[in-house]
Chain A
């Protein structure tokens, strides 16, 4: 079926209006629909929303969590902005920074799905809160390599790294 506005592109949107019992149908392509204001820009992103909130629901563990969640505290909502977990899964969006804490237990499966398995930030840190976090990251990385050396029985190298960790930890204590 061709678009009834431009008569060129295929009609991909089929709109039915019922006004006072009078039914009118329109068959238009996406572009004409947009240009003539039959649909608004906002609706474009809507399909992604749906898909996303669909993802949340499809995840069996999150449904289970959700049930436990609502049973344990039916009115469980973010204390800061009031968004409930139910609303969060329906819309697929957070209401404020505190929502991340409030719904913490349910987030990992969602992030894993959306970010191909990742749940932990690896990038930029705000300058003002930066140095502390960077040190923690460094210490964590040192600990890992220290374990590797220990497993490989390279104790001298492990000791070197242990000293580095101590130094960093001392600095941290002095700062705080």
Chain B
């Protein structure tokens, strides 16, 4: 496999398009939790019951096409190697939970990788829809289209009072988790994120690192999502999140402006040092790589670095993860081996752009 081909693998096709405010919002995601009406939830269901659900998906949806998403492919997680599972997790196409409970789990993926429907996760169905940049509303509409399409063949567990019934009480009602992935280097550098996070929490929203719960904000990338799913319409949930995200975008832009005005040479120095590190280092840990990538991406956004695509951050952030490196090497690697391979892949990737 040539390096270029592999790169096009690391980044999902939908990520290559630019979205609104994509200098700050990397992606928008909608997730809907749904269950079958007359089946036990995956948590306590017997293996045969879960197998039935997988069969149902295999029969009804394998190679079907939905709207403009292209052909859908149904994959049984049990058929994947441990490294392949890791790669899907790192690309956010399946959740760590699904990879862990691989025995009776599956995923229906669209060619564009924009739609991912996880089967037998904590709930029978987890519909995920991604769009580049800041377009939550559009993502919600598209996710509803998928939801309506699935509903033609599936009777959902739904109650008039409680809404869509889910395994966990934290998802009941709309079953909706709306989230955005934001690159906030200036707010982080100026220590404003520590101050903003509690305020955002008070509004019923959650701030997390790039790989979900408990992970730190690698590469100054934050995931912001709604917490409450009951008692508010999907529309209101999305609008509330949108208004907070808009404010964060505004604040980040201001912080970037202040930095370029007041600390121009220091900022430029930091950006180019990171640029140099990525271009020349021989051993690099994922955390250092993420920090440098964030600096370089900021350099691109602010015009210090030219001839480098913005998508390089999205792409390399996935590429430098352990699962991806090991898939590239086609074997499992020790920590040191990974750091060496990571450095060499980044060097090659940067070189590709410079030519």
Contact = CB atoms under 8 A, between A and B. Distances in A.
Contact of A6 (B99, B101, B176, B335): B335
Nearest to B154: A126
A141 B114 CA distance: 38
A26 interface: no
A163 B11 CA distance: 58
Interface stretch (A14-22, A35-43, A63-71, A151-159): A35-43
Contacts of A52: 168-170
Given A40-B100, A124-B174, A136-B160, A96 B41 contact: yes
Given A41-B100, A126-B158, A48 B213 contact: yes
Count class of interface residues, chain B: 35 or more
Nearest to A83: B44
B257 to A, nearest CB: 33
Interface stretch (B68-76, B183-191, B224-232, B340-348): B224-232
Contact of B163 (A5, A96, A123, A136): A123
A58 interface: no
B43 interface: yes
B303 interface: no
Name the prevailing secondary structure of the B interface residues.
loop
A119 B229 CA distance: 10
Contact of A133 (B40, B160, B214, B322): B160
A114 interface: yes
B250 interface: no
Contacts of B229: 115
Contact of B165 (A40, A48, A100, A111): A100
Interface in A19-47: 30-32, 35, 40-42, 44-45, 47
A97 B156 CA distance: 10
A30 B163 CA distance: 37
Contacts of A123: 163, 173-174, 176, 232-235, 237
A85 to B, nearest CB: 14
Contacts of B43: 91, 93-95
B231 A119 contact: yes
A81 B151 contact: no
A119 B162 CA distance: 7
B96 interface: yes
B184 to A, nearest CB: 21
B31 to A, nearest CB: 14
A110 interface: yes
B174 A92 contact: no
A114 B100 contact: no
B67 to A, nearest CB: 16
Interface of A is mostly: loop
Given A52-B170, A111-B169, A95 B158 contact: no
B174 A97 contact: no
B159 A42 contact: no
B285 to A, nearest CB: 8
A45 B335 contact: no
Contacts of B37: 97
B261 interface: no
Nearest to A132: B160
A121 B174 contact: yes
A165 to B, nearest CB: 18
Contacts of A129: 158
A68 B232 CA distance: 32
Nearest to A82: B44
Interface string A117-136: 11111111111110001001
24 contacts: A30-B214, A41-B97, A44-B96, A47-B214, A80-B40, A81-B40, A92-B168, A93-B169, A94-B166, A97-B38, A110-B169, A111-B169, A111-B172, A118-B228, A119-B231, A120-B162, A121-B172, A121-B174, A122-B233, A123-B237, A124-B163, A124-B234, A128-B155, A129-B158
Interface of A: 5-6, 8, 30-32, 35, 40-42, 44-45, 47-48, 52, 80-83, 91-97, 100, 107, 110-111, 114-129, 133, 136
Interface of B: 35, 37-41, 43-44, 89, 96-97, 99-101, 122, 144, 147-148, 151, 155-170, 172-174, 176, 204, 212-214, 228-237, 285, 287, 322, 335
Given A94-B168, A95-B40, 17 more contacts: A6-B335, A31-B287, A41-B89, A41-B96, A41-B99, A44-B214, A47-B214, A82-B44, A95-B44, A100-B162, A118-B231, A119-B231, A120-B162, A120-B230, A121-B159, A123-B232, A124-B234
